[in-house]
Amino acid sequence: MYTSNAMPTEPTVAASATRTYAWVVFALMFCLLLSDYMSRQAINALFPILKVQWQMSDTQLGSLSGVVPLAVGILTLPFSIVADRWGRVKSIAVMVALWSLATLGCAVASNYHEMFIARIFVGIGEAAYGSVGIAMLMSVFPKHLRSTIAGGFTSAAAFGSVLGVSLSGLIATHFGWRWSMGMMSIFGFVLVIIYCLLVTEKRLAHANPDNTGGTPMYGEIKLTPRALLSGLFPARSVLCAYIGCALQIFIQGTLFVWLPSYLNRYWGMPVSKASLVAAGLVLVSGMGQLLCGVLTDRISGDSLVRRWNMAICYCLLLGVLLEIAFRLPQGNLQLALLVPAVFFLASSFGTCSAIVAGATSPAIHSSAFATMTLFNNILGLAAGPFLTGVFADSVGLQVALRWLPFAAILPFAAYLLGRWLYLAESRRA
């Protein structure tokens, strides 16, 4: 298992400038992830318009949305491996330029097939940004801030999703749907220009608290496939972190997809209001992802055991609050309990990211976080909504969601096992 005991140096003028630069990079990477998810989700607000204008079926509309995460899930790991070898800075610039250009392609598409091809390229461009971006941020911040940085960075996905849908609908209403996609594209191009001006491999190397030499670290380690696999799974406890995080994302993905339908069917909300309430809950989830990462760093410090403890506590709170909320009758009290429940939906992502980062070599962090993304997409975001839909076809959506809190038992068990294995591995080390 990879370990490093290097600690940040005492504050100096140079160190202060380095910390400032690190936060500038964080802000820029956060905005790029906003652009990522705005470009990805903006099309969802255009479905009613496209359905009428192009006479599209619901299956075709769904494919325009679903092809992006499909491309991301397939390509995230190989693209992240390439980024670890070729250089993260250059890779991210190419990614952002590609998804922005592809989003512009969506704006000028004249039929379903052209739009579908453009959406494939949106997914190709976005495939590895999350994993490579978080690896880059881990390289410029000290280890005791890893949960904060991971949680804060990835919370942009929730905020970007809500912004993308809401702004897209607003722009389409006033200027037409093509301008919706065009504005998302322009936002991405502006950001990538700023990124290229501010972020270089050399400046990142100087900002790295564990790289006293100030030389770029990419490409230093050339691993065989077998050695890379061993590096991505250095211990059984790390596998538990991958699986536990994905199983908790299973619950998040399910609620994000099915909450609007639940509110519409069983609360009697109009579709527009149900979508608005669900969007508000998505924002609460994003805030929880950010704040739980901060709390984990404050409590855990450099202790991985405490990080495991925090993941266990977050998962327990999620399961208990969801169980209580879905057992209550529809009304304000149920909504009042759903708010704190969704706050903990992605609460352990930052914690698990810090665990994975601490166990793997910095040279393959992009690949390690891509592995997390792969697990999260397959076991979480893909499996959760699908299996819940199958269950709902048999017993109804309301009953299916009442059983959803019991799914928290699985990540809870994975975190308990991971903690036990980590202690055993530490004793043997």
What are 175-210's pLDDT values in tens digits? Answer: 999 999 999 999 999 999 999 999 988 888 888 776
> Which pTM value belongs to this model?
0.80
What's the pLDDT at 6? 46
What's the pLDDT at 9? 46
What's the pLDDT at 14? 58
What's the pLDDT at 277? 85
> What is the pLDDT of the chain when averaged over all its residues?
88
What's the pLDDT at 378? 82
What's the pLDDT at 103? 97
What's the pLDDT at 7? 45
Domains, the chain, ordered by start: 11-208 (1.20.1250.20), 222-429 (1.20.1250.20)
What's the pLDDT at 308? 97
- Residues in the chain where the model's pLDDT stays below 50: 4-9
What distance in Å separates the CA atoms of residue 301 and residue 350, rounded to the nearest whole number?
Answer: 13
Radius of gyration, CA atoms only, the chain? 21
Helical packing angle, 112-126 and 13-41, nearest 10° = 160
What's the pLDDT at 2? 52
What's the pLDDT at 92? 96
Residues 164, 41: contact at Cβ < 8 Å? yes
What's the pLDDT at 15? 66
CA-CA distances (angstroms) from residue 228 to 80, 364, 365? 12, 8, 11
What's the pLDDT at 5? 47
